[in-house]
Structures are given as C-alpha cells and as structure tokens.
Chains A and B, each alone.
Chain A
C-alpha cells in the first residue's frame, strides 16, 4: 500500500483536505490549559495545547494513562471549562449538533432499551418521530443491533453496549464525533470487527472524529493524524500523519511493512512518556 500523496497538511490556518478542497480547520485549540483543584492544591491536567483539526479528519490521540486525554475531550465537548485558552469548533451547519461523545466506559442508560438509547440524542433535539425511527433503524443496522432493539443493556455483552453508545452518537449526525477509548473493554476479535465496522460507517459519513485510544495499533489502523501526548501535565508531544489510503482493510493494512514501521515509530514516542508516567507513579507512592 503506497502512502497517499494528498494526506492533510497544514498551511497556516488553512488545511488541505485529501480531496483537494481547501477549508479552514474544524476544531482549533489555542493555548489550552486545564487545572483541577485537588485537596486545595492546583493540579495541572493539560498544559498549553495548540491544535488544528481539519474538517473530515479522523484525529487520534494517544498518551499514557492519566495524561489528560479524557479531560481534553471533555473540554472539546463543553463538559469542562478550560482554565486558560480557547477551543473553537467551526460550525458550518447549525441544524446539526456541534458534537456527540462516546464516553469512556459504560454510558448507555440501563433503564432504556437499545432502541430508546440509540434514539436519545434525536429525542432530545425533538426530531419528528418518523424521522427518528428511520435514523435509529439505520444505525442499529450499521452496528448490527437490530435483533436486540428491544433488549435492555443488562441483557447485552460489553461489546454490544459499546456499539449502542456508538449508534447513539452517530444517530444525532454531529459535526464532530468525540470517542473516548470506545473499544478498550473489548477482546481482540471483537475489537477487530468493530474497527472494520467503524471504518465502514465513518467512510460512509466522513465526519470529523477525535478518537482516544491506548492502543497504537488501533490509532494507526483508524487515524488520519495521530497526536502523542506527554505524561503529566498533558502536552502535545508530536503529531504524526498516517499515509495509508482509504478505504482501508484492517487485516490487509496490518500485513504491510509500512504499517509496522509506523507503529514502531509511534511506540518510540510513547515509550518515554509511559516510562516517565510510571516513574512518577512510583515516586508518588514513596
């Protein structure tokens, strides 16, 4: 598989998309810092992050545990206020929600059926009933959950619950999709299947996605660009372009040497950070 020549490159504030269209960035993060108060002391979770994400990019964030990935995503979603700096989402279609989040861990409502969960965002936006029915049926089909539409979450496997969460977020057709380690609780086989499914759905809809993962493998398979974050406090260490063409086949991609080289390179960036995070944890225990 040859590197695609048209991967996203930054030119000032303007970003060239793979299809050659020029557009301003979809998400712009400027000098973002976030502090938490922990027992009276200020704790810096994010430190001066600057970032531009072009429209239609599948943007992946990797970093050691506790480096502030979730915090960054929550700031993007408007669930946390930045302590300093600004986050701008360039809204182009105001009738669509600005973002929808697939949360880390179980987040679908146990008191709603699969169908009601998937319809939640649409119902909150007061979309007409008939339209909700069509959209929800479509995404339950995409996530292969149609048979379980009327089951309750406790009757599903962990992987199925994650897919409900994904269907719920996709169904609202947000301008930006935020995904926080959506597959981390899954076993290898289910994860590979879901990668394939996610790529299939994403390639149909081409949304701007910000995706967090612990897995370098997953980052390279899914992403257009990968940002590696430093251990505490979280900063942007490097951002790497992924040169593989789309549509991608997960298994074929894994077999190419370029894939292995890229994974190895990103692991190199990440290893130092994981080590320093581990040392810090060790120091904290003493």
Chain B
C-alpha cells in the first residue's frame, strides 16, 4: 500500500465529524443531531484546551487563569455568599430601574402615538437626547442622586425608557386606524381606548422594546456599579481588578452573561404568554 493511499484511507475515517462519530457511537446520526452535538461539545473543547494551555504554561495565567482555578474560586464565592449578595444587589436595582423606566415609557409612548400634538412636542426631545451615550450621564446622576441606590436605579431607568418608549410610539402608529374607529363607534372612553386598543395593539412592538430595554438595563447596571457602588456584580468585577483577583473577575463576567441569557429566555417566554393572538412566526 502506497503512502498516498494510506493517507486517503485515514482521511476517509476522520474527514467528517459524522463519520467519526458514527464509528464511535455506533448509531445513525443525522446532520441535525450531529450539529447539535457539535454546538454542545465545542465550549467544553475550548475549556479543555484552555485548561491544557494554562497548565502547560502556554497561557499567561495572570490574565487567563485555568478554568479549574476559576471553578474553585466560584465554589468559594458561592459558599461565602459573596456571589449571591452581589447578584441580588444588581438584580434588585435592575428590577426597580426597569419598572421606573418602563411604566412612564409605556404611558408617554402610547400617548404620543395616540395624540399628534404630543408627538410633535416630545419627538424632538427624544431625538435629541437619545444619541447621548447613557454611560456619559452617569457623572450627572451621581451629582444629582449621590452615591446611594437612587443613582443606579435612575441610570437603568433611563436606559430602559428609550427603547420601550420609541417602540410604543411605533407600535401605536402601526395599529390599523379602523380599530380606533371601532373604539369610537362603540363609545370607548379615553382610558378604554388606551387599555383595550392602543396598548394591546402596540404590544408586539412594545415587547421588542422591553427585550432591548432589559439588555440595555443589564449593561448599564454593571457599568454604574463599577463607579459608584459598594455592592453588585459591577462592583465585584471592578473590585477584582483593584485587588488583582482575576478569577473573581471572570466569575463576575460569567454571571452577567448567564443572567443576560436567562433574562432573554424569560422575556421570550413572557412574550409568547401575553401575545397568544400573534400568529406563530
């Protein structure tokens, strides 16, 4: 057997994941199952090679500590309650900030959608203030609200306000005018037009705004806690930098990522639950 054909034979065994896996597991694996296996396995493969490189000295562990040491720090932070306390602090601020931003955003956005003069009045204000990076407002907020909880909650509220308000206006404008005529014809009061037509009609748009707002809120709370707080995930990450506890920093980042992912899954569920009338997309 020539060298070339031996080479070809080996290629035939390993040229695709499908073939290799089929040999290993001895079951029939469809491309869809194979792809799912790949996406489940790939993070582990990455972690494993990271671990190997860190242990083998290929990576500078001052910046990229081995996953195993990060994990043991994680266990410690959970046992001492540090991780939980900081997570809870951030989530509480996110919650109140979200409410403080979302409720006025809904009221203002829907009112703007329904009443032209109001839209004419507020539109330029929004267009003017929206492009300001929310992080750039933080010093002003600290000045006004001090270092306490209020400045953080207001920061989140501002971040949440814009996407929900803008989407609510768009959502109301998107409602077919005939539904407003129906409301008028059946003598719906102003409040009932808001409650039974404008709000539910704009809800698909509003939900997109809510999802954007939650993401923005999470970014801003972490940011705000880095500067003016003594608790929270942002504080934890910043503090880790100050004391050069790089494992803790990774844990902070991971926790933020997991929370972000969980919130997006949750808001997708919420959307499905409150919009049963939307044809499945």
> Which A residues lie at the B interface, using CB under 8 A?
74, 77-79, 97, 99-101, 103, 105-107, 109-112, 120-121, 124-125, 152-154, 168, 172
Contact = CB atoms under 8 A, between A and B. Distances in A.
B186 A172 contact: yes
A148 to B, nearest CB: 14
A120 B186 CA distance: 8
B168 to A, nearest CB: 15
A121 B186 contact: yes
Interface in B140-181: 178-179, 181
A25 to B, nearest CB: 22
A58 to B, nearest CB: 20
B43 interface: no
A111 B277 contact: yes
A79 B178 contact: no
Given A105-B178, A111-B201, A111-B203, A79 B186 contact: no
A125 B185 CA distance: 12
Interface stretch (B24-32, B51-59, B109-117, B192-200): B192-200
Contacts of B197: 109
B184 interface: yes
A152 B200 CA distance: 14
B277 A154 contact: yes
Which residue, B178, B183, B189, has most C-beta atoms of chain A within 10 A?
Answer: B178
A101 B185 contact: yes
Given A109-B179, A109-B197, A120-B196, A79 B203 contact: no
Contacts of A154: 277, 279
A58 B37 CA distance: 69
A110 B277 contact: yes
A77 B185 contact: yes
Contacts of A106: 178
B185 A99 contact: yes
Classify chain B's interface size.
20 to 34
B185 A79 contact: yes
B8 interface: no
B277 A103 contact: no
Given A79-B181, A107-B179, A109-B196, 7 more contacts: A78-B184, A101-B181, A103-B181, A111-B277, A124-B183, A124-B188, A154-B277
Contacts of B192: 124
Contacts of B186: 97, 100, 120-121, 124-125, 168, 172
A153 B276 CA distance: 11
Contacts of B129: none
Interface string B112-143: 00000000000000000000000000000000
B277 A153 contact: yes
Contacts of B189: 124
Contacts of B187: 97, 124-125
Nearest to B178: A107
B105 to A, nearest CB: 20
Contact of A107 (B182, B196, B201): B182
Given A100-B186, A153-B277, A109 B200 contact: yes
A270 B277 CA distance: 42
B179 A152 contact: no
Contacts of B200: 109, 111-112
Contacts of B203: 111
- A-B pairs with lowest CB-CB distance, top 9: A111-B200, A121-B186, A152-B277, A111-B277, A124-B186, A124-B188, A101-B185, A154-B279, A107-B178
A125 B113 CA distance: 25
Contacts of A79: 181, 184-185
B38 to A, nearest CB: 37
B254 to A, nearest CB: 39
Nearest to B189: A124
A152 B276 contact: yes
Contacts of B279: 154
A103 B188 contact: no
